Structure 1
Amino acid sequence: MKLTDRLQQWGAPHPFFTFEFFPPRTDQGFENLLSRIARLAPLGPLAITITWGAGGSTKDRSLDLAGFSQVEHGIDTVLHLTCTNMVQGTVDDALRSAKERGIQNVLALRGDPPRGSEYWIPTDPRFVHASDLVAYIRSHPEFGSHFCIGVAAYPDGHTDSKSSELDFQHLRTKVEAGADFIVTQLFYDVDNFLDWQKKVRAMGITIPIIPGVAPIQSYASFARMSKLCGTRVPPAVNDDQKVKDYGVELAIETCRRLTTEGGLGGVHFCTLNLEKGVRRVLEGLGWSHQSVQVVNKIIQESPSDTDNSHIPPDLVITASEASHLVERPTTPRSETGSIAPEPATASRGTWDDFPNGRFGDPNSPAFGALNPWDGGGLSVSDGIAQWGHPKSIPHLQNLFLSYLNSKIPTTPFSPETLSAESSSILPHLLQLTRRNWWTVASQPAVDASPSSDPIVGWGPRGGYVFQKAFVEFFCDKSGVEWLRKRVQERDSALITYYAANAKGDLLSNVSEETRNAVTWGVFPGQEIAQPTVIERDSFLAWKTEAFATWAQWAVFYPPYSEERRLLENVRNERWLVSVVHHDFKSPEALWTFLSEE
């Protein structure tokens, strides 16, 4: 059904809500997301939206995911569609595939410029703006009457916009082109949104507005998302669990204000493919179908002469009272009785509570999440200002050394300044980089540091965190051969490694099914949490992204230039290597092993 028709028919005693998901990078993550959607579907979302990678990079997975929620669960699905790298035939194919799956809703987006582009450049001159995509779909004889079309809006301003006036003009153009509803980018400043909404309505725009809300998962991920989306950031809290609790409370208060002061019929949850946060928000609001069922059960079981009107609807059900509605986690055990790794098919919503960037669990649906609406990376001018004009291997080596010495704030592989955690092993990283092994990721060994530690701590307070030391770097083939020989000579079962090149060659001493938790935490009253896992699928997913980064960096420079030839040659000739030392009680073990004799 079209989303606008569904909105008109909404008859629940609470505001509606929608969920947004993105196609996971790994096959297991995709399968686990299907299970996650199956658990969230009974909460009663009005619709589900599925993001679309730039240029159709996630085309098949996006369509499969949208078809699953549409067909298997009967939930109306909104498929994101972008202009980036899209030509008419690609757009038609996507729309036709969506139609065949019974999908009647699309969210038409321009899409952000691919990393490595100074400006957004259309592949097809007919698709320059999102309004062009809207107008094309609306006027198409096959699709015009079939699809309900949504567009995006940016209450805090688009990151590329020169002024708020231009933002409003672009929104008006998209609506005039035939848009049926508006979904906003996420925001946290409700007062600013309410002011923005008044201005939109004053322009004569009357179509439904669905505000985007994202429960905060951790301060690091929140700050990264806020930077990408241009949202305003509340003060930091140095406790991941408290950040999540604060995020739930903030989302509840935000939703209440939007639906009361703002008069909006509902909200759109950007889930980042996580489950627990949105569950807690809906339970706190009393909006989910399961919450309503509990309320009805309480009323039905109450004596007929009992007055329940004094019970505030939003307090009838709490997270603890609704706990029986959520499948309780069990601790899987191996045949030897020890705790076994989380099974891929585990039906629970808490095992990836603390996502840890690209080093998260590859089985998690949220693995590798950044900005699901695309974007990220520096512009050409900003990148060249920081990274200069590398024309030789020594130039590149000096660039990585400059980053480690805090002379430049980023590299193409490290979008943020060097962390305090990495600073603790800085001499070792410098030593490797001077060896022409250019480090791009690392962590020190940690043995039972308090979870409140300001440098390595994470998760709720009162716990202890552990880490195995690891390092990832780019080196030439001789470096890979040195590492292989070193492992064989030492016969060290405590060292595991992966090495791969852009062509797809893979070398490793790790079996395909091995899962290596390199970060874990022990917290009061909880199972052991393992937010950081390095194994084959996660390494290969990162390898693809890492070598694509070399190619994207190369296009900063003119064709046939020395800089581009250098970067393309490095991409073709270097290897990405990941090394883990499993003795987390010996802080120097990894670095001693990697030192030259």
Structure 2
Amino acid sequence: MKLSEKIRHSERSRPFFTFEFFPPRTDQGFANLLARISRLASLDPLAINVTWGAGGSTKDRSLDLAGIAQSEYGIDTVLHLTCTNMVQGSVDAALRDAKERGIHNILALRGDPPRGEEYWIPTDPRFTHAIDLVKYIKSSPEFSDFCVGVAAYPDGHADRETDEDGEIKYLKAKVDAGADFIVTQLFYDVDGFLRWLSKVRETGIGVPIIPGIMPLQNYGSFLRLTKLCGTRVPVELQAALEPIRHDDQMIKDYGVSLATTMVKRLVSEGGIEGVHFCTLNLERSVQRVLEDLNWIGGSHDIHNRLIAETPGSIIHAPHPESDLIITPIDASNTAKTKLETKPVKEIEEPGRGEANNEATWDEFPNGRFGDFKSPAYGIQDPWNPGHYVSRNEGLSTWGHPKTIEEVTGLFLSHLHGKVTSTPFSQSPLLPESLTILRQLEKMTKRGWWTVGSQPAVDGADSSDDVFGWGPRGGYVYQKGFVEFFADKADVDMIEERVKRQGGGWVDFLAGNVDGECKTNMSDDGRNAVTWGVFPGREVAQSTIIERDSFLAWKDEVFTIWSQWALFYPPDSKERQLLESICRERWLVSVVHHDFKKDSALWSFLLSEE
């Protein structure tokens, strides 16, 4: 059914709500997201939204996910569809596929051009803006029966310098072209939204406006996504988060309270008919918000079960008699994540240690070092993986490298704090990485450009300013780990060295853009590289390296090389260099298991033998 008609004819005692999901990066994550959607369907959402990767990068998974939700779970689905950087004819193909799957609703978006926007030429000349897609659908005899929504940006568009009045004019033009409803970008400034809403209505826009609400999950993801979306952060919100920024559970609890308060104000002061929850493929926070709003009935049993069973995933421990609980969060330029865990009761199923209760997985954003079976595995930017800076910002920070030596210089500048980021590391080095700065310098000067690392740690106090995480009174451990780019000859050398000198102490993974992979790990091997022991708790494990997660990350980093190349004009030396690096370099991950020797990894890698 068309969403606009459902809104118009809805007879409810409370406002409606919709959920947004993105296609997971792994097959296991996809399968487990379907189970999650099935559970959330019992909360009676008006519809769910399924995102569409930039340039159609998630086309098949997006269509499959939306189609299954529509046909098997009976949930009306809104399929996001971006039109820029799409191969000519692919918009038609996507719309036909959507119709065949019984999908009646499209959220028409421009989408993000590649990072080199100045040099981007639309692949399909019919589409350069979202309004082009709206006009095309509404004027097409084949597709005009779709209900079409568009996006709005209460805090302004992150990629445009247009003022608020200009943005509202764009929005009005999209509605005049035939848009049936509006979904807004996430925001946290309710006063600003209400003022914006009043201005929008004054222009004569009368279609439903559905505000986007994203409950906070942890401090790192909050900072990253608000920067990505250009979201205004009220001073009082920043002040409230500052003292609890290292406590993920307190951030989540605050996020639930904040979202609940926001929604109540939007309904009571703005007359909003419903809200759109950006779930990040997580379920517990939105469940709690809806419970606190009293918008769902008969779900207390579900809620109490979710509260009783701690977020996490039971996996094989280093010692077979113990189980480890994982509640991973995001990581940037270091492998370690900071979190708190609670014990879960043992699940008696075949394959002890591998059983997973999907209802309680990944309740913290599951960064690339989390469980690859999680529906939220690898989340950085659910809308456009790899993209986090504008072209101008990237050129200002990363310059115009024309030689391998200049690329090496950029990575060295990042290590020395002269630049705040690289295309692969969004922030400066953390204090723990500074303890191995000399070794990282040696690797980089050798042409091994490092993108992730951590030193070995043997039982540091959990309150340690550099290495500590989790509850006080515990001890934390780390295996030495480093991830870097290297050429094929060096990969072959490392592989041979692992065979001759590794002695079972070293695991390595290496992959290239063509899908080749070298490793001494089994297909299902899992390597815990960060863990903690805390009073009265199960051993907590926060960082995992495994084949499937490495391969998913490998695909992303080579996409980043390609996107970075697009900063520069066609046929420029910069673009030719970066494209050749993407073709020729390998991503390499090396772990040394002897965490009692802080020099073990570096002696192995940097030996001249």
TM-score (norm: length of structure 2): 0.87
Structure 1 residue aligned with 2:262:
254
Q: CA offsets, 1:496-520, max 9 Å, x none?
A: 0001222222111100011223234
Deviation, structure 1 residue 485:
2.8
Counterpart residue type for residue 149 of structure 2? G
Which of 349, 357, 367 is 2:367 aligned to? 357
CA distance in 2, matches of 1:385, 1:191: 34
Partner of 1:359, secondary structure, is: coil
- Shift in Å at residue 68 of structure 1? 1.3
Matching residue's letter, 1:114: P
Contact conserved, 2:367 with 2:377, CA < 8 A, in 1?
Answer: yes
- In the alignment, what sits opposite 1:156? 155
Does the aligned pair in 2 maintain the 1:238–1:454 contact within 8 Å? no
1:211-360 residue pairs with structure 2 within 5 A?
211-233=211-233, 234-235=237-238, 236=242, 237-291=245-299, 322-324=303-305, 328=309, 337-339=321-323, 346-360=356-370
- Select between 54-63 and 553-562 the one with higher mean Cα deviation: 553-562
Question: In structure 2, what is the Cα distance between the partners aligned to 1:466 and 1:77?
Answer: 45
1:340 deviates by 6.9
Q: What pairs with 1:45-444 in structure 2 (closer than 5 Å)?
A: 45-86=45-86, 89-118=89-118, 121-145=121-145, 147-162=146-161, 163-233=163-233, 234-235=237-238, 236=242, 237-291=245-299, 322-324=303-305, 328=309, 337-339=321-323, 346-374=356-384, 376-444=387-455
SS of equivalent to 1:173? helix
Ranges in structure 1 where 5+ consecutive residues have no aligned partner: 295-320
Counterpart code for 2:304: S
**Alpha-carbon deviations, 1:241-260, whole Å to 9, x = none?**
21111111111111111111
- C-alpha distance 134-561 of structure 1, shift in aligned 2 (>3 A): closer
1:548 aligns with 2:559: yes
Alignment correspondent of 2:490: 479
- Judged with a 3 Å threshold, the aligned counterparts in structure 2 of structure 1 residues 333 and 384 are, in CA distance, closer, same or farther, namely closer
Kindly state the Cα deviation for residue 45 of structure 1 after the two structures are TM-superposed.
1.1
Cα distance in 2, alignment partners of residues 460 and 354 from structure 1: 16
Give deviations 1:185-209, integer Å, cap 9, x for gaps: 1011111111111111111111111
The ranges of structure 1 where at least 4 consecutive aligned residues each deviate by more than 6 angstroms after the TM superposition are 340-345
Q: Relative to structure 1, is the Cα distance of residues 580 and 205 closer, same or farther in structure 2, using a 3 angstrom cutoff?
A: same
In terms of mean alpha carbon deviation, does 520-529 or 394-403 score higher?
520-529
Q: Could you tell me which residue of structure 2 aligns to residue 315 of structure 1?
A: none
Give the residue type in structure 2 aligned to 1:264. Answer: I
Give the match's secondary structure for 1:578. Answer: strand
Query: Residues 325 and 533 of structure 1: is their aligned pair in 2 closer, same or farther, counting only changes over 3 Å?
Result: closer
* 3-state SS in 2 of match to 1:473: strand
Give the 3 Å change call, closer, same or farther, for CA 415–491 of structure 1 in structure 2.
closer
Task: Specify whether residues 531 and 36 from structure 1 end up closer, same or farther in structure 2 by C-alpha distance, changes over 3 A only.
Answer: farther
Q: Which residue of 1 aligns with 2:338?
A: none
After superposition, the Cα gap between the structure-2 partners of 1:30 and 1:170, relative to the gap in structure 1 and judged at 3 Å, is same
CA distance in 2, matches of 1:470, 1:257: 47
Equivalents in 2 of 1:527, 1:39: separation in Å?
28
Q: CA deviation at 1:54?
A: 1.6
Contact 2:210 2:276 (C-alpha < 8 Å) held by counterparts: yes
The C-alpha deviation readout for 1:566-588, integer Å capped at 9, x for no partner, is 22332222221101122334333
Structure 1 equivalent of residue 348 of structure 2? none
Q: CA RMSD in A?
A: 2.6
Contact 1:239 1:461 in 2 (8 A): no
Whole-angstrom distance in 1 between the partners of 2:276 and 2:533: 34
Give the fraction of aligned pairs with identical amino acids, expressed as a percent.
Answer: 60
* Stretch deviating more after TM superposition (275-284 or 508-517): 275-284
Amino acid at match of 2:282: L
- Tell me how far 1:399 sits from its aligned partner: 1.5
Q: 1:331 to 1:472 in 2, by over 3 A?
A: closer
In 2 relative to 1, CA 530–114 (structure 1 residues): closer, same or farther, beyond 3 Å? Answer: farther
Greater CA drift, 323-332 or 403-412: 323-332
> How many residues in Structure 1 have an aligned counterpart in Structure 2?
569
Where 1:23 maps in the other structure, the secondary structure is coil
Cα distance between partner residues in 2 of 1:174 and 1:413: 36
Query: Displacement, 1:341?
Result: 8.2
Residues 513-522 or 173-182, more deviating:
513-522
Output the CA distance in 1 between the equivalents of 2:523 and 2:111.
36
Letter of the 1:338 counterpart: S
- The worse-fitting range, judged by mean Cα deviation, of 247-256 and 484-493 is 484-493
Structure 2 residue matching 1:118: 3-state secondary structure? helix
Secondary structure of 1:98's aligned partner: helix
Asked if residue 37 in structure 1 is aligned to residue 37 in structure 2, the reply is: yes
Q: How big is the shift at 1:456?
A: 4.3
Q: Is the 8 A contact 2:366 2:374 kept in 1?
A: no
Query: Which sections of structure 2, spanning at least 5 residues, go unmatched?
Result: 327-352
1:144 deviates by 0.7
What CA deviation, in whole Å up to 9, does each residue of 1:121-169 have, x standing for no partner?
A: 4322321211111111111112212x11111001111112321111101
Q: Give me the whole-angstrom Cα distance separating, in 1, the residues matched to 2:472 and 2:208.
A: 42
- What's the CA shift for 1:525? 6.7
Change over 3 Å in CA distance of 1:29–1:332 after alignment to 2:
closer
Q: After TM superposition, give the deviation of residue 382 of structure 1 in Å.
A: 3.2
Contact 1:238/1:452, CA 8 A, preserved across alignment: no
Contact 1:105 1:150 in 2 (8 A): yes
1: distance between equivalents of 2:314 and 2:384?
36
Q: What is the TM-score normalised by the length of structure 1? A: 0.89
Supply the distance in 2 between the matched residues of 1:458 and 1:173 (Cα, whole angstroms).
50
- Whether contact under 8 Å (1:116, 1:552) holds in the other structure is yes
- Label 1:126 to 1:570 Cα distance change in 2 as closer, same or farther (>3 A): closer
Structure 1 distance, partners of 2:538, 2:484, is 33
Deviation at 1:451, TM superposition (A): 5.3
- For residues 331-368 of structure 1, give each alpha carbon's deviation from its aligned partner in whole angstroms, at most 9, with x where no partner exists: 85879543278877723333312335332322111122
